Amino acid sequence: MEAPSAAQSPGAGALAPAGATGVARFAFRGEGGALFVLLLKNVLLTILTLGVYTPWARTERRKFLWSNLEVGGARLAYTGTGAELLRGYLTVAALYAVATLIGYSGRLISRSAELLSQLAVVASVSFLIPFAIYWSRRYLLSRTHLRGIRLGLGGSAGAYAREAILGGLLTVLTLGCYFPIIANRLHGMMVNNTYWGTERFKYDGRDRDAFRIYVPGLLLSVLTLGVYAFWLAAKIRRFRMEHTVFQGARGRLDLTGGTLFKLMVGTFLGTTLTLGLAFPWLTCWAARELASRARFEGPIDFNVVRQRERVGSAAADDLAGAMGVDLGV
Amino acid sequence: MSSLGAWPSVPAAGGFGPASYVDGQSAAVAVVTAQLAGAELRILTAGAIVPLVTWRLSDLTVEAGDERLVVRCHTAPDAELALADDAARGLAARLAELGVSRAGARFASTGGRGRRWRLVVVYGAAIATLVTAIYLALPGLARAIARRIPLETEAAALGDPIAARLLGDVCRTPESDAVLADLRRRLDPAGDARAVEIVNLAIVNAFTVPGGRIYLTRELIEEARSLDEIAGVLAHELEHVSQRHIMAYVVRSSVLSLGWAVTVGDFSGLMVVDPSTAFQIFNLRFSRADEASADAGAIRRLRAAKIPASGIVAFFERLRAKTDGGPEWLQTHPLSERRIRRFREADGAPASAGATAAAADALRRLRGACAGRAGKRTVWDALRGKDGAPGSPPGPGSRGE
């Protein structure tokens, strides 16, 4: 880690990630009680407005989660607005109406025409999914600030979609054997195109290494009726984090399968047994546990991280949400 | 623990700090002190006399979280000043005094956590009140809406697809049609129902589908010992049609589903008449109020048609004896003592011997409707179109339990 700049006082401590230790830790500071109040307010206003408040509710939820996540002592900020999401919702609603009309228009002609038109709609929606994933990530990152500098996703959604569709076809043709490779490549595309200001993240996880993790892991998961899936998921997350690099710092994640099992099962059981009331506390608990295990180790020169142009639209974000592929950072 | 590290929260002279400042142009963070001077907020690094930046109070937005304050300026949207703990409370209080921000004022007066439990009570009470109001108003609202939807629309949207699936199970002969037509003329002079048919299903039941079609199952016809029993059941179903209970139920369910979707943001549950929805409609449980209302209306119909209610009483009592032991809530039409008593108290004079003989003959003709059919399908198989395409007549020997 470089010596403190003139803009920083000596001993700035947690404000300067890495500092003398060269480590930028993640931490989640949110409290379940605060999230509970927020969710109650969201439910009340959503019911009162017959759903019109939904985009603002979603924005408030994101603001809470973002603003309580620390990276190297500095908190994220979410700058998206409910109005942006509302525009996105209306766009998606219009597309949905058009798709429904097309899907049922065949009924006016014949049964087979109805089936064909519905198939066409399903195929179109499936084709759009990778675009929606990419656009959604782009929107979320463009509305995320860390230390006042915007994150962003460059690259091309078309290139990502092309890779995803071809990779999907290859996965089917290889009876699933290609899946670890396409999953790794798509993740790599996302990370390699992710920016913090003018500085780009890098992903150096090799396809063959990912394949070596997935294949025995999937087999073991099947043999253990899914129990090993938690350990496989933890391994994949560790692999991805450890091959993510920002400037001179490399990611680290101390997440085990046991911890992931505890978090996921604990959250599920706790939410179910309390009819959802414990959800806010469990969410914050899980976020705290996961964040505390992540960090970047190595030097980061914050002075070269400068502001970049803004990209991304809310319509894409809601398109992804409507198709069930909502993403967070 | 605040994000500002272990520095003591000692404000500089006239200032609030330590605070962190980012200028939105680079990721470098400055440890600063915030000072209020007139209508301006000045941000200074330690020991500096000239401010790093000056913001007008009128350009500020303040976000207050738990023990944390973030101040931004419209003119530099990516820049940010963050304070925590005492420094945050101090600046928030001062900004509140100057009328700059309500968020800051709330934070200053009680701190982030202080308001929390009051808000839980207020929001929780408001939600409970809203939900209770919806729950109480919904039945009346659903009935009012249902009455305004033409029966033909109900049939086209919901009932006809179900009727199409049951088409292959309908039994009829000219004699059975004539008996049903006579019953309808006596019990339904206003023509509320669109059709009354017998279906070859393996369950003792009668049911109404949206749009005013009433189905009496073969097993019910075979179980009945007199035409009066069938008339009583039919009168009850006719009331469900005329009082639009099914449409009201659909409206209630749709409003509740929409409300749930609106609350959680999932709009994927659009209503289509697929087999599971059709099964739900078949299997729906009317509210006790709907059942009581249908019973009262059925009694009026039976009286007007001069048909004794003793028939349906005997039918219910026999069925209850057969199905006794199961919890009432598991039955599609609960045979509570209260319901049976209602009909028993309404019973008129017994029928004459001549009428009884004619009724026995009519019952025989009704039973003949399904006489040629080899087996009976379950309701679920019928609605799914199992053993044949939906709505298509069964091939020889192609159905059976």
- Per-residue pLDDT averaged across A230-254, rounded? 96
How far off is chain A from B107, nearest CA to CA, in Å? 13
* Chain-chain contact of A307 with B26 (C-beta, under 8 angstroms): yes
Q: Report pLDDT for B4.
A: 39
Q: Do B78 and A51 touch (CB under 8 A)?
A: no
> B330 is written with which tokens?
């598991």
- Quick check: B127 and A40 in contact, CB under 8 A? yes
Q: Which of A34, A31, A54, A30 is nearest to A42 (CA)?
A: A54
Partnered with residue B217 across adjacent β-strands are B199
Query: What's the ipTM?
Result: 0.76
Is the pLDDT score of A46 beyond 50? yes
Q: Which residue has the higher pLDDT, B200 or B262?
A: B200
Determine the pLDDT at residue A316. 57
Q: What is the pLDDT of residue B82?
A: 93
Looking at residue A112, its pLDDT comes to 79
Q: Which residue has the higher pLDDT, B351 or B255?
A: B255
Report the alpha-carbon distance of residue B379 to residue B376 in Å, rounded. 9
> In the structure encoding, which two tokens stand for residue B195, read together?
């059709």
Amino acid at A63: K
Q: Indicate the residue of B26, B116, B267 with minimum beta-carbon distance to A303.
A: B26
pLDDT band at A314 (very low <50, low <70, confident <90, very high): low
Q: Give the model's pLDDT for residue B301.
A: 93
In whole angstroms, what is the distance from residue A89 CA to residue A322 CA? 8
Model pLDDT, residue A22: 86
Decide: A25 and A288 in contact? Cβ < 8 Å.
no
Mean model confidence pLDDT for chain B = 78
Q: Look over chain A and give the mean of its residue pLDDT values, rounded to a whole number.
A: 85
Its pTM stands at 0.74
Q: Which of A163-167, B157-161, B353-357 has the least mean pLDDT? A: B353-357
Mean pLDDT confidence for B199-225: 89
Give B308-366 pLDDT, tens digit per residue.
888 888 888 887 776 555 555 545 455 567 778 888 887 655 555 445 677 888 888 99
Measured between CA atoms, the residue of chain A closest to residue B267 is: A322
Q: What is the side-by-side strand order in the sheet with B60-65? A: B53-56, B40-45, B30-37, B15-22, B76-84, B68-73, B60-65
Give the pLDDT score at B6.
37
Residue holding tokens 């809203």? B130
Instruction: Go through chain B and tell me how many residues it has.
Output: 401
**pLDDT of B386 higher than 50:** yes
- At residue A158, the pLDDT reads 92
Measured CA to CA, the distance from residue A161 to residue A316 in angstroms comes to 14
- The residue of chain B nearest to residue A73, with distances taken between CA atoms, is B3
Chain B contacts of A70, Cβ < 8 Å?
Answer: 3
Query: Which among B23, B30, B265 has the least Cβ separation from residue A8?
Result: B30
Asked if A303 has any chain B CB less than 8 Å from its own CB, the reply is: yes
CA distances from B317 to A173, B334, B340 (A): 63, 12, 7
pLDDT surpasses 70 at B190: yes
Closest of A141, A135, A153 to residue A313, by C-alpha: A135
Q: Which of A6-10, A125-129, B323-327, B377-381 has the lowest mean pLDDT?
A: A6-10
Residue B258 pLDDT > 70: yes
Residues A266-288, mean pLDDT to the nearest whole number = 93
Task: Please give the share of chain B, as a percent, with pLDDT higher than 90.
Answer: 26
Q: Among A12-16, A236-240, A324-328, B309-313, which stretch is predicted with the lowest mean pLDDT? A: A12-16
pLDDT tens readout for residues B104-117: 666 666 555 667 88
Residues A15, B29: C-beta atoms closer than 8 Å: yes
Residue A312 or residue A328, greater confidence: A312
Q: Looking at chain A from residue 74 to 133, which residues have their Cβ under 8 Å from any Cβ of chain B?
A: 74-75, 77, 79
**Partner-chain contact A43 B30, CB within 8 Å:** no
Q: What is the DSSP secondary structure assignment for residue B79, as one 8-state letter?
A: E
pLDDT score for B111: 54
Confirm if A171 and A197 have CB atoms less than 8 A apart: no
Q: Residue A86: what pLDDT?
A: 85
Q: Which residue has the tokens 């919901």?
A: B158
The confidence score (pLDDT) of residue B177 equals 93
For B357-387, b/e burial (b = at least 16 CB within 10 A) is eebeebbebbbebbeeeeebbebebbbbbeb
Whether chain B has a CB inside 8 Å of the CB on A60: the answer is no
Q: How confident is the model at residue A328 (pLDDT cuts 50, 70, 90)?
A: very low
- Would you state the pLDDT for residue B323? 59
The total number of residues written for chain A in this structure:
329
A188, containing H or E segment: helix A179-192
Q: Are B324 and B336 in contact (CB under 8 A)?
A: no
pLDDT at residue A265, rounded to an integer: 94
Tell me whether A146 touches chain B (CB under 8 Å): yes
Rounded to whole angstroms, the Cα distance separating A250 from A296 reads: 5
Confidence of residue A318 (pLDDT cuts 50, 70, 90): low
d(CA A69, CA A77): 9
CB atoms within 10 A of CB A280: 22
Residue B192 pLDDT greater than 80, yes or no: yes
Nearest CA in chain B to A70: B3
Task: Tell whether B74 is within 8 A of chain A (Cβ).
Answer: no
Q: Give, rounded to a whole angstrom, the gap between the first and last alpha carbons of chain B.
A: 69
What pLDDT score does B12 carry?
Answer: 45
Tell me the C-alpha to C-alpha distance, in Å, between residue A289 and each of A223, A258, B356: 29, 12, 79
Find which of A149, A247, A302 to mutate to test the B interface (most B CBs within 10 Å of its CB). Answer: A149
Q: What is the C-alpha to C-alpha distance for residues A121 and A144, in angstroms, rounded to an integer?
A: 33
